[in-house]
Chains A and B, each alone.
Chain A
Amino acid sequence: MKRHLRLFALYFAQYTKVRLAYKGDFLIAFFSSMVATVLGFGFVWVLFSKIPKLQGWSFYEILFLYAFSITPLGLFNVVSWNLYEFGEQYIIQAKFDRVLLRPVSTLFQVLFERFRLESFQEVVTGLGVIYICIIKLNLKWHVSDAMWFAVMVVCGFLIYLSVFLSLTAVSFWFEDRVGIVPPVFNMLTFGRYPLTIYNDFIQFMLSWIVPFGFASFYPTTHFLGRQSFRTYFYLTPLVAIAFFTLAVAVWNRGVLNYSSTGS
């Protein structure tokens, strides 16, 4: 564990140096990425200029939910770069051979070989918007709330990671992905609005199959003082750990199945 932490620090420092070699380039990426994130809020903002509430949720409550969904997602985006290109880069081009030669966990290497540094702005933007919402909604937060908040952000991160890690691991069996990731990625949008507006099927799916609800909606209801989903709130860490364990198991099973393309 200690060794992995040290390695993580080294990987991170190394990659940061690579990225910052072109400072202007990085700044443009950072700020344009921030503009993109802020534009993402545009729909909610325009919508609420015409309507007072969405199923009992006010503008700042929806904003809180939306911001909460992108905060752990930002953390995930920082490390997910290689997941998207895993099939192409590591399997088809057989970069995975090199990964296997090193005495460090394969998953660790694949996740931390590259970082999408500009995605840290999503975390910053998300937290900033949540802070504004807390003030506007006049929420009284105790230290324990802040601690739960941190726990929930980590859980959300683990849930996003688990879902996409499982999908990525599929490329160990089927080299030519049919592109199952984009539709699931787009399901993230469901998590940005109250789960209760959807029909039962979608609510079930977002809770127990692709548990994005646990990464945004259920935690948010608690922080906004809505008590109807209390049980789900406290279940969140369990769901996150369960799905993460499952994803790692699928990954490890996949690694055993790996055979090099031999190039």
Chain B
Amino acid sequence: MTSAPLALPSLPTRNRSAAAQQALVYAEFVRVGFINTLAYRLRYYTGIVTYFIYVSVYYFIWKAIYAHSQRIEGFDFGQILTYIAVGWMIRSFYYNNIDQDLAEQVVEGKLAMDLIKPVNVQAMYLARALGESAFRLILLTLPTVIILFTVYPLRPPRSVVHFLAFFLSSSLSFFIVAGINFAVGTLAIRLKSILGLLRAKYFLLELFSGLLIPISFFPHAFQAAFAYMPFQYISYIPVLIYLGKLNGVFILRALGIQFFWVVALISLGDGMWRWSSRRITIQGG
């Protein structure tokens, strides 16, 4: 159909320095990720409905709960509603299927095609997912934000500075999720069918990232353990920044830890890939 106006121009790859050329290769993967998603754009229209349903369920649950209390764990109703809605909004952006893609490549024997490309496989997957997320930002996140703000009484960000920090923080969420997904996805190479595992990871991320309920609602032992895990930096921390529950130096500290997890998880994924790719069996192909 009318995909032409949205398609980015193909990038020329000759007469550049080696590093620039490398960057252009991955930029091309970003473009491919964007275009591929474009082919499935119809699904994203119903995706908007899906996100609206998610938020609506929790709207009614919290409404029933706040009928009897003013504040729970420092959240009033407007804050908890905003917390849930903004959490789902950024999820519509940072979410990706790198793990499932990898698992499918393994099962269908297409992984061979990834191996023959002279690129870093993890960087390629990350670049494609980035393209997909850029697409989601325009055609899923943006409409979802507009609808949710229209239907529900949501609060604006605490300030412009908070908003900018929130924006940076949720961009880092993308890399944390992508890092986790790639690392988990590499398990498919040794374990073959990992769909059950991926389902468990899906629910684990929903709960431990704070998407369903703020981390401060968890029992203290859990909160203490979560401090040493990357999950709460996916959703809980960015949304706390949005709400203004984190301020000044604490925002900087949170962004620093997020950045640490990005580096740690990408290194982990790189290690896992090296470890697993020594044992690849290609099925047919």
Contact = CB atoms under 8 A, between A and B. Distances in A.
A203 to B, nearest CB: 10
B212 interface: yes
A241 to B, nearest CB: 27
A25 B43 CA distance: 31
B86 to A, nearest CB: 18
B261 to A, nearest CB: 21
Interface in A117-171: 118
Contact of A29 (B56, B61, B193, B212): B193
Contacts of B67: 55
B160 interface: no
A51 B61 CA distance: 12
Contacts of A29: 193, 195-197
B212 A43 contact: yes
B217 A49 contact: yes
A176 interface: yes
Interface in A204-228: none
A10 interface: no
Given A179-B43, A193-B61, A197-B61, A49 B219 contact: yes
A32 B199 contact: yes
B199 A179 contact: no
B152 interface: no
Interface stretch (A95-103, A183-191, A248-256): A183-191
A30 B206 CA distance: 20
A197 B60 CA distance: 6
A67 to B, nearest CB: 16
Contacts of A31: 196
A49 B43 CA distance: 37
A193 B219 contact: no
Given A25-B191, A50-B217, A118-B196, A183 B72 contact: no
What's the dominant secondary structure at chain A's contact region?
helix
Contacts of B47: 179, 182
Contact of B64 (A54, A180, A187, A189): A54
A31 B199 CA distance: 11
Interface size bucket, A side? Answer: 35 or more
Contacts of B200: 32-33, 35-36, 39
A33 B199 contact: yes
B57 A190 contact: yes
B109 to A, nearest CB: 16
A105 B61 CA distance: 43
Interface in A22-57: 22, 25, 28-33, 35-36, 39-40, 42-43, 46-47, 49-51, 54-55
Interface residues of B, number: 39
Nearest to B66: A51
Contacts of A46: 207, 213, 217-219
B178 to A, nearest CB: 21
B197 to A, nearest CB: 4
B275 interface: no
Contact of A197 (B63, B69, B193): B63
Interface in B167-205: 191-197, 199-200, 202-204
Contacts of B194: 28, 32
A22 B64 CA distance: 47
B233 to A, nearest CB: 18
B36 to A, nearest CB: 16
A31 B212 CA distance: 23
Contact of B196 (A33, A50, A199): A33
Interface of B: 42-43, 45-47, 49-50, 53-54, 56-57, 60-61, 63-65, 67, 69, 72-73, 191-197, 199-200, 202-204, 206-207, 212-213, 217-219
19 contacts: A25-B192, A29-B196, A33-B199, A36-B200, A39-B204, A42-B212, A43-B212, A43-B213, A54-B64, A55-B67, A176-B42, A178-B43, A178-B46, A183-B53, A187-B53, A193-B57, A193-B60, A197-B63, A197-B64
The 7 closest A-B pairs by CB, nearest first: A29-B196, A179-B43, A32-B196, A39-B203, A36-B200, A197-B64, A33-B196
